[in-house]
Structure 1
């Protein structure tokens, strides 16, 4: 029998905070948070319609690469609206979850599945799972031996994520926000969204200021060869 360490669950975030985050994009969050909030190499795999943004608090899982025993346990105890964030070492040789687990996650009200590892059964996930983000796809199945930790601090694609941190996912991938800085970062991303809307309007009217480019460069022209 394998050990599973279960840490105390974080408090669920306020609904209005999630609603504000849902109106943003991963790129906005990443830009205002030092351009490193995104988990590199983890991309949307299935279940995400074009233009959809998914948000929720992280339910963190640390498992042995290629093993999903504690992931099954996480599906049993996750609260509706949480996003399962599985740190599986980034290895893509064995799938951590597939169609049946995806369907079960949807039945439990889990908002999304994020796996730093591989998944499989892409068509089934598209049909019946919540949005799935992963490092890759593999038809090879997982081991079920454990051990693992639940609701612990994990590394997801090189980014530290704690249980209860906020996760936003869209067509560009995922970004994470430390719970303690959620209001600050969401407000900054909202301001950047307004600034980008103004720039878009300037492009459409032919008035986009491009002077900063020449101000940032020293151009050295090369004469034509004779």
Structure 2
């Protein structure tokens, strides 16, 4: 039998140090995106949980047939503390891929959240804000449980390729994913950006903030800088 379509692979050993992962807990997704030249980030998914809860963890990836959650159930059973279930549901919004019971199952295992390129249901429960959930849509229609689907394979979610073990950061602005091999370098850049923005905020409060680049850029664009 052809195994393609029902593969359950082992996730690579963590390539991200615990202190690096923890460092992302205080940095916004927007700042992280800026430090990846605004080229990488998940598009079209929005936070469906209430409050200001941040979601940070390592990707446990699932690729599934639209509207089918067989392998999402399996992924939850394999997941644990610090994992984020990242699902490539092909952006389909017809059938919800997860709901309250699956959320409770994941939460009981210490899983940090769901990132679903597809639909979810039981929005009222997710909106209580106790579990991170980012999704493309909401649908009352439930899922099928037939497959195919695969676990710990590269997936495409909101226009970004996500590999198992990549760092996932989600907040009120959305989701960014940092390739595991670049996590430490991106963290260092993001911490510096946060520090620079803190200085800018102090100058704004003091009334001393300036934008020396603004007129220079306009002059260059209009030819006035000759």
Deviation at 1:10, TM superposition (A): 2.1
The alignment yields a C-alpha RMSD, in angstroms, of 1.9
Question: Which residue of structure 2 lines up, in the alignment, with residue 162 of structure 1?
Answer: 163
- 1:29 and 2:32 aligned: yes
Deviation at 1:36, TM superposition (A): 2.5
Structure 2 partner of 1:223: none
Deviations 1:72-122 (A, max 9, x none): 111111122100000000111211111111111101111111100010101
| Counterpart residue number, 2:51 | 49
1:1-226 paired onto structure 2 within 5 Å: 4-12=6-14, 13-46=16-49, 48-50=50-52, 52-127=53-128, 130-218=131-219
Structure 1 runs (4+) deviating above 6 angstroms are none
TM-score, structure 1 as length reference: 0.91
Gaps of 5+ in 1: 221-226
Of the structure 1 ranges 76-85 and 210-219, higher mean CA displacement relative to structure 2 is found in: 210-219
Distance 2:130 2:8 in 1: 25
What is the total number of aligned residue pairs between the two structures?
A: 218
Counterpart-to-counterpart distance in 2, 1:43 and 1:137: 11
**Alignment partners' CA distance in 1, 2:76 and 2:130:** 12
Aligned with 2:141: secondary structure?
coil
Which deviates more, 206-215 or 53-62?
A: 206-215
Give how far 1:128 is off: 8.2
State the alpha-carbon separation in 2 of the partners of residues 180 and 128 from structure 1.
31
Q: Distance in 2 between matches of 1:207 and 1:128?
A: 38
What is the SS of the residue equivalent to 1:58?
strand
**1: CA distance between counterparts of 2:34 and 2:74?**
35
Do the aligned residues in 2 keep the contact of 1:103 with 1:128 (CA within 8 Å)?
no
Mapped to 2, the partners of 1:37 and 1:137 lie a distance apart of 25
